[in-house]
Amino acid sequence: MAKYAILIYEDPAFYANASPETWGAVVDAHNTFTKQVFELGGSLAGGEALAPTTTATTIKGAGTVTDGPFVETKEAFGGYYVVEARDLDHAVEIAKLCPAPGGGVEVRPVVDPTTNPF
């Protein structure tokens, strides 16, 4: 099975304005999602939620360090899962179940370091 990253992009305002009940529902939805990965014949190789973009530190070019995210966008990278799936179609089937109520998800193959993907 190959590894695929499911990258979660959402509007940070969705969570900034979320009630405790909404936050709890999102956490419950992610717990359900992790169970569904296995039910669909995949496996979970990792994943985490990320702190808000306001906590980011960006390093560019020759080591210039700035506080905050490098670009301003409506949606920000908020978390990820790494799943093992039979192929891209299977990974997409799994990713369609990933909760992202404030945005969406992106699926990308994880690079095998022994081969050049470019």
Distance CA 97, CA 83 (A): 13
Phi and psi, residue 98, nearest 5°: -70, 125
Q: For residue 94, how many other CB atoms are within 10 A of its CB?
A: 25
Sorted by where each begins, the domain ranges of the chain are 2-109
Contact indicator for 94, 21 with CB cutoff of 8 Å: no
Per-residue pLDDT of the chain (118 residues; tens, 9 = 90+): 999 999 999 998 888 888 999 999 999 999 999 999 999 999 999 999 999 888 888 888 888 887 766 566 778 899 999 999 999 999 999 999 999 999 999 999 999 888 877 7
Query: What kind of architecture, by CATH, is found in domain 2-109?
Result: 2-Layer Sandwich (3.30)
- The strand ranges marked E within 12-75 are 43-49, 57-60, 64-67
Q: Which of 89, 117, 100 is nearest to 8 (CA)?
A: 100
Phi and psi, residue 22, nearest 5°: -65, -45
pTM of structure: 0.87
What residues form DSSP beta bridges with 43?
84
